C-alpha cells in the first residue's frame, strides 16, 4: 500500500523539505534538487514492511512529539507552584527531541535532512 498524500506531506515536513505543490514551477528550486528527488523516490518505492515502519514508528511518534512542543507554552507564566517546578528548558528539550526523531526518519529513508532541519542538515543552496 502506498503512502497517502497526507502521509507524504508529513514525511516531507518532518524531513525538513518545503511543500511540493500541485504543479511544477521553474521557480521552486527544492523540487529539483537531488536530495528532494531521492526523498520522493524513496516514498514511492518502499517495500510494504518499510512503509509500515515509517507509519507505525516514525509518523506516529513524530505526530505526538510535534503536538507536545506548542503545549509547553501553557506553562511559560509559572516558574514554580507548590512542589511543581517549571523546567526552563522544556520547549528546547522537546524541540530537540522532535528534531532527533526527524533526523532518524531521514536516516531510515536514506535521504539527507532538508533545509527545514537547520544548520545540521545536508542540503545547502549556494548562489
How many other CB atoms sit within 10 Å of the CB of residue 80? 8
Classify 81 as helix, strand or coil.
strand
- Residue 82 pLDDT: 66
Q: For 52-78, write each residue's pLDDT tens digit.
A: 999 999 999 999 988 888 777 666 556
Grid cell of 90 as nine digits: 522544556
Distance (Å, whole) CA 127 – CA 123: 13
* Parts of the chain with a pLDDT under 50: 121-123, 126-127
Overall pTM > 0.85? no
Amino acid at each position: 500500500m502506498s503512502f497517502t498524500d497526507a502521509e507524504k506531506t508529513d514525511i516531507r515536513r518532518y524531513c525538513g523539505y518545503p511543500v511540493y505543490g500541485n504543479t511544477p514551477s521553474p521557480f521552486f528550486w527544492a523540487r529539483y534538487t537531488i536530495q528532494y528527488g531521492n526523498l520522493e523516490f524513496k516514498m514511492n518505492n518502499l517495500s510494504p514492511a518499510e512503509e509500515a515502519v515509517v507509519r507505525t514508528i516514525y509518523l506516529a511518534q513524530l505526530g505526538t512529539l510535534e503536538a507536545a512542543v506548542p503545549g509547553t507554552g501553557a506553562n511559560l507564566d509559572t516558574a514554580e507552584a507548590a512542589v511543581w517546578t517549571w523546567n526552563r528548558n522544556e520547549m528546547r528539550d522537546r524541540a530537540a527531541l522532535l528534531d532527533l526523531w526527524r533526523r532518524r526518519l531521514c536516516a531510515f529513508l536514506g535521504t539527507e535532512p532538508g533545509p527545514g532541519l537547520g544548520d545540521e542538515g545536508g542540503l545547502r543552496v549556494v548562489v
